[in-house]
Amino acid sequence: MTDAASRISDTNKSNDVVLYMKGTKSMPQCGFSSRVAGVLNYMGVDFADVNVLADEELRQGIKEFSDWPTIPQLYVKGEFVGGCDIITEMTLSGELDTLFDENGVTYDKDAAEKIREANG
């Protein structure tokens, strides 16, 4: 396992929800990262943010780790969930709520419903 892969694995094991993104949850540095972080923040999800722009090895490593070419990448309980389009789709369909419920992740159900209403 590469150094980047072991760091990713350790981060995923020690946090229920991890978002590998460009920038941070308080200052995203790309629109796609901003959208996913915005959804998680709005839903009140406690998540770890990993800024891949601050670490080139991690930026490449996460793509190899998940076999997914783009960032952001969301992990829940160590499992890769998807990128921006998948998370947006799952939020609007209610699948993200189900995933959080099944994994014991706390979130604001009313906020999730408001997102769906606003985009319905």
12-29 tens-digit pLDDT:
999 999 999 999 999 999
**For the chain, which residues make up each domain, given as ranges?**
3-119
pLDDT tens column, 67-119 = 999 999 999 999 999 999 999 999 999 999 999 999 999 999 999 999 999 99
Enter the tokens of residue 111.
Answer: 């906020």
Look over the chain and give the mean of its residue pLDDT values, rounded to a whole number.
Answer: 96
For 42, list phi and psi in degrees, rounded to 5. Answer: -60, -40
User: Of the candidates 25, 47, 52, which has an alpha carbon nearest to the alpha carbon of residue 100?
Assistant: 47
CB 66 within 8 A of CB 74: no
The CATH class of 3-119 is alpha beta
Residues 120, 117: Cα–Cα separation, whole Å:
5
pLDDT tens column, 44-56 = 999 999 999 999 9
Asked whether residue 84 is marked as a ligand-binding residue, the answer is no
107 CB-near residues (< 8 Å, 6+ apart): 43, 44, 45, 97, 100
Enter the tokens of residue 104.
Answer: 């014991």
Residues 76, 99: Cα–Cα separation, whole Å:
8
